Chains A and B, each alone.
Chain A
Amino acid sequence: MTIGGLISMLLSLAFVVGLTAWSYYRVLTAPEPPPHEVEEFHSA
């Protein structure tokens, strides 16, 4: 494996792992929508 191969592998892995971790952090820490909207939804 060349240095270029190592760098491209590590950068790619860092990007996808970082993006996934950040995304799940945002999902799990975001507040839930107000409960009344669940009732109103689908009433169109």
Chain B
Amino acid sequence: MTQKQEWGSRLGVILAVSGSAVGLGNFLRFPGQAAQNGGGSFMIPYFCALLLLGIPIGWAEWAMGRYGGRKGFHSAPAILGVIGKGAIARYLGVIGVLIPLAVYFYYLLIESWCLAYAYEYFTGGIGVNGKAPIDEQNRVSKAFFDNIAGNEFDGVMVGGGIHESVVFWAIVFAVNVFFVYRGLSKGIEKFCQWAMPAMAVCAVVVLVRVLTLGTPDPAKPDQNVVNGLGAMWNPSFEALANPQTWLAAAGQIFFSLSVGFGVIINYASYLRRRDDVVVSGITASSTNELFEVGFGGMITIPAAFVFLGASGTLAAVQTGSFGLGFQTLPVVFAQMPAGNLIGGIWFFMLFLAAITSSLSMLQPTLAFFEEALGVSRRKAMTLVVIVALAGSAFVIWFSKGGVARDTLDNWVGTLGIFVLAMVQIVCFGWVFGIERGWSAIHEGAHLKLWPVFKFVFKYVTPLYLIAVFLAFCWNNLGDWWAKVLESPVQQMTIGLIVATIVLLVIITRIGEKRWRALGLDLDGREPPADETRGGGAR
């Protein structure tokens, strides 16, 4: 029905899924969350969430995606229609296209900041003088970030000449379109096979630099790298009694692994029938964890602690991921020997983490437009570019204080992920059926899951997810909605989200008619054709 796409190798798809999962949150969000929620003891709820929430939902997505692919479908609406056996699941599957597309609207801009910072560092730095008073360093760093992010007022990034951010944004957008248009194996897979090892090398270089900092200022002997590691890892077990710690851990796992994002289900739809989704799923998850715990947990907080001390690090963590990454770390690099080089490597690594994620956000939309509208890859790509340009232009224009960006992140990039994950796990465990799901996971698998995971898929993961979702809504929704009522920019951003949903629903409706006319089993009433004609051993 559409131009055939497939992965070149099993390692390629694993690196592509890992690349999608590893993003800025691994290096900036995780250490902040851990340090604020019990340090080393945070890892107990964190690993519980990994084993009971993240990895099971990931396996379900891998299995559902491959099953849908065997029926000739590659988009979340079509695949969830098959797994969920009907129109309700199919239209809820629209969220699986909305999330990567709407997150792309603002994520591309963040990706361009990383490239801009890397360029500045490799060509002399961002102007922070490590010998100046610390307040002056913070002021210069913040001013640079505010300029790059267009934080001062709306329209600043496109008014009064060509803004640096817009130049870098145009570059990264062109690179994204180029690699996605080249296709799965020649574009995304090839890029990730190069980018993931490069990211690991950059991370190792920065890690070695941080771990060999020692005690840079003899006048402050407490500010050394060992105490910096302590700031990150010293456990505070009383935090385990606080439900907020468990919520933060589950949230971190959830957002970090790219589950409920609409990407894995699309990527897995291009797998072969006998590919091993059990090992592929756990390998992609463990790669993400290596970057998050092994690098994110060892670099950011210790580096900040060594130069800024305990209070400075705490203040930096409380500014959030962007404050820590784009305002505080430049101050740290300014004081670090070979700081410009290390800063350049660090931001280039963040750029690689971001671009491997952004590539994965375009592909599900491209596949959806292709198969729902029945158009060529070129036409579908043109439509994707038009929609992505329109959404990104909105975020670029309404740049003041990052309000439009944060609104998209809250309502789509956070809330939407929870909703899609719940739809997926319910469809998988309860509508498709756990026995069929269990068979779908194990087809081609060289590793058999413990039977207890059947119980986990059907009961533990959905209940865990619902509990976390309710607690999350209780903590955030009232506040978010109050802000929407106060802010015209937030209201327009909600309008953008609604307009995007309407567009995707209309395209799903068109696709539904097309698929029926073609005689495809879009409600999942029959087994895949390769199964009925006995293609491949069971």
Contact = CB atoms under 8 A, between A and B. Distances in A.
Given A13-B294, A16-B293, A41-B272, A30 B71 contact: no
Contacts of A37: 272-274, 535-536
Interface string A3-44: 011111101110111011001101110111110011011111
B213 to A, nearest CB: 14
A44 B67 CA distance: 11
A1 B530 CA distance: 58
Contacts of A33: 272-275, 444
Contacts of B257: none
Given A26-B446, A27-B14, A27-B280, A41 B229 contact: no
B286 interface: yes
Nearest to A7: B40
Given A20-B289, A41-B530, A44-B72, A8 B229 contact: no
Interface residues of A, number: 33
Contacts of A4: 40, 234-235
A23 B280 CA distance: 8
Interface size class of B (residues with CB under 8 A): 35 or more
In terms of DSSP, what is the predominant structure of the interface of chain B? helix
Interface string B507-538: 00000000000000000000011100001100
Interface stretch (B4-12, B429-437, B456-464): B4-12
Contacts of B536: 34, 37, 40
B140 interface: no
A11 B46 CA distance: 13
B235 A1 contact: no
B287 A13 contact: no
A24 to B, nearest CB: 6
Given A23-B286, A27-B14, 16 more contacts: A1-B226, A2-B234, A4-B235, A5-B234, A13-B293, A16-B290, A19-B289, A23-B282, A23-B283, A26-B447, A27-B10, A27-B283, A30-B10, A33-B273, A43-B530, A44-B72
Interface of A: 1-2, 4-9, 11-13, 15-17, 19-20, 23-24, 26-28, 30-34, 37-38, 40-44
6 interchain residue pairs of minimum CB distance: A8-B40, A1-B230, A33-B274, A5-B234, A23-B283, A5-B233
13 contacts: A2-B235, A5-B229, A5-B234, A7-B40, A8-B235, A16-B290, A16-B292, A17-B294, A27-B14, A28-B11, A33-B444, A41-B273, A44-B70
